[in-house]
Structure 1
Amino acid sequence: MLEATDLAVEFPGRSGRRARAVDGVNLSVGAGEIVALVGESGCGKTTLARTLLGLERPAAGQVRYDGTPLSYSGRALRAFRRQVQLVLQDPMGSLNPRHTVYEAVAEGPRIHGLPDEEKVVATALAQAGLRPPERFFHRFPHELSGGQRQRVVIAGALALSPKVLIADEPVASLDASVRGEILALMLRLRDELGLSALVVTHDLGLAWNIADRVAVMYLGRIVESGPTEDVLTAPRHPYTQALLSVLPESPERIILTGEPPDPTRIPAGCRFHPRCQLVAAGNGIDACTTTPLAILPAISTPQVACHVTAGKIPALDNS
């Protein structure tokens, strides 16, 4: 349904250098599939999501929807955004406090000129779990709980009958007791409406509970991907292993040194090697610090970009 091919996004950086926020990414979301994009803050997840939505133009590569390259003309983007909708992290920040629930959900249908506005709004609210929908029409965001506000945001996306949702940290601002309800809602929408979703998150527990596939991102690249069970039960990349080690059930905590490098100065060789626990322990190889790794393709089988744990992955000079 939605695919990124060799996608690169750059921004002006210090001293005239370009910051490579997304630096060669292949990623696909299939029909009725939920893919989790995971990684720590600053790794490029949100920039990639914005680019998939057409909010950022790539410096290289392309975005495809249903096999067709994304066009950045006003009319084409308007049609595209009926099919691919965004669900933001903070419902209080994304809802206008002066607008009622009805006005918030009706905004998209009005922009796109959809008929039967009241029916569209009521249906979307009901699909998002706010029933009976008429009970919520005249309420304001401050009159709702956090979970209800997030359901209103989801209803606003559903009002346009999209095929794909891009959810950026959809439960990060919610209480633990409400998170499960929103995750269950997203799974139900997938099953009942056939929706696809890309869920951007730093929470591997969320990815485990909701995703069919996981893609792990570090410093602008996908470093490991595959079916959720394969990646999260038998991680092969040292970075994925470190992310999983903070979960309560992990037998050993892996502490990474330092912060992610400046994206205007990508390290030579494997971009993770300055923080890699294998290199720090003397278990790396020369290629870790000298030879760039290939960009991973957008396939569903398990794959990893690591010289040590996947030595057969070919190197590619793309510095």
Structure 2
Amino acid sequence: MTETQPAADTAAATAPATRRALLEARDLRVEFPSRGRRARAVDGVNLAVGEGEIVALVGESGCGKTTLARTLLGLERPTSGEVRYDGAVLDHGSKALKAYRREVQLVLQDPTGSLNPRHTVYEAVAEGPRIHGLAGEREIVAEALARAGLRPPERFFLRYPHELSGGQRQRVVIAGALALNPKVLIADEPVASLDASVRGEILALMLKLRQDLGLSALVVTHDLGLAWNIADRVAVMYLGRIVESGPVEQVLTAPRHPYTQALMSVLPESPERVVLTGEPPDPTRIPGGCRFHARCQVLASGRAAEAGVDARCRSELLDVLPATPEAHVACHWARAVEPAPEGAGA
């Protein structure tokens, strides 16, 4: 699907057969005040990341995926619903959050912006261990850099970010997360700012970390090609809610939701380009019925009317999808005309 296609086979080969949910969102909702109204940035989401699993969260800019990631990190408080880690509800007290962030670490999109230009590589990676008072700082930093593929690590200790390539800077950011020996990485567009030539290297590194350390990861991206290459499961988000989810090969080779089909159509090998009209609706004015219906190519083409669901698309709300591993879709038309894949749900 992209220049790093073989990684998908690696992901499948190294993925555990069964997984216990490690990080979960349960009916999560996050609202913000906006011009006298409430913007529903996350509007009912169930999501689970299992032990040793990589889940891709995909969607257009503004769909709520970054807000969801920040809430899972404890940086935003949910309006309702809950975040669970290792079976326990996330405690937003300062001491509890500090302990939680040793377990769940963020990898930011832009390594240039996330690294202090006045700090050496050593200082950047040592920041976390110092905050948490970990002993053996030098050994921790060296091991983290080595695991991130910067070897020999001592050669990078005194370098500054401007002396590194983009790929090396992203590896330093990953090393900073690894220095705390986390169990989960939340990676926000981890390769978006990198040249195509090094994207595959970073994706391969994340797969190797999963294989070597048993790390779990939630990868936030707008790039379905990236999801194909790295993820075990994918969740497609639109206007604050997950509209399709399931095993990555099942969802991306046979997408059931018109929105997923439109996202897939921009890939070079897609036989037909779907051009969505307009912009996603204002999250303070989420439309009734299916939240995608105003832009839906299936409704506009008359295919929903042929299936007898056009009125339902415009007026009947869809349920919040569960976080189970099987394929699920929130679409009146897909449920009416397509037999669900084996093991799939509504």
Partner of 1:29: 49
Partner of 1:286: helix, strand, or coil?
A: helix
Matches within 5 A, 1:1-319: 1-14=22-35, 16-284=36-304, 285-311=310-336
CA distance in 2, matches of 1:281, 1:17: 33
Partner of 1:97: helix, strand, or coil?
A: coil
Q: Which 5+ residue runs of structure 1 have no aligned equivalent?
A: 313-319
Q: Which 5+ residue runs of structure 2 have no aligned equivalent?
A: 1-21, 305-309, 338-346
TM-score using structure 2 length: 0.89
In the TM superposition, what is the alpha-carbon distance from 1:311 to its structure 2 partner? 3.8
CA distance in 2, matches of 1:311, 1:116: 60
Partner of 2:40: helix, strand, or coil?
A: strand
Q: Which letter maps to 1:290?
A: S
CA distance in 2, matches of 1:282, 1:5: 35
CA distance in 2, matches of 1:240, 1:309: 12
In the TM superposition, what is the alpha-carbon distance from 1:283 to its structure 2 partner? 2.0
CA distance in 1, matches of 2:58, 2:79: 23
CA distance in 2, matches of 1:297, 1:311: 19
Partner of 2:293: helix, strand, or coil?
A: coil
Partner of 2:303: helix, strand, or coil?
A: coil
CA distance in 1, matches of 2:249, 2:302: 29
Q: Which letter maps to 1:28?
A: A
The ranges of structure 1 where at least 4 consecutive aligned residues each deviate by more than 3 angstroms after the TM superposition are: none
CA distance in 2, matches of 1:10, 1:302: 28
In the TM superposition, what is the alpha-carbon distance from 1:31 to its structure 2 partner? 0.1
TM-score using structure 1 length: 0.97
Percentage identity across aligned positions?
A: 79
CA distance in 1, matches of 2:325, 2:196: 31
CA distance in 1, matches of 2:183, 2:24: 13
Deviations 1:130-159 (A, max 9, x none): 000000000000000000000000000000
CA distance in 2, matches of 1:63, 1:30: 14
In the TM superposition, what is the alpha-carbon distance from 1:13 to its structure 2 partner? 1.1
Partner of 2:10: none
In the TM superposition, what is the alpha-carbon distance from 1:310 to its structure 2 partner? 1.3
CA distance in 2, matches of 1:283, 1:57: 41
Q: Which letter maps to 1:8?
A: R
State the superposition RMSD in angstroms: 1.0
Partner of 1:317: none
Partner of 1:78: helix, strand, or coil?
A: helix
CA distance in 1, matches of 2:153, 2:117: 19
Partner of 1:119: helix, strand, or coil?
A: helix
CA distance in 1, matches of 2:205, 2:153: 16
CA distance in 2, matches of 1:267, 1:176: 38
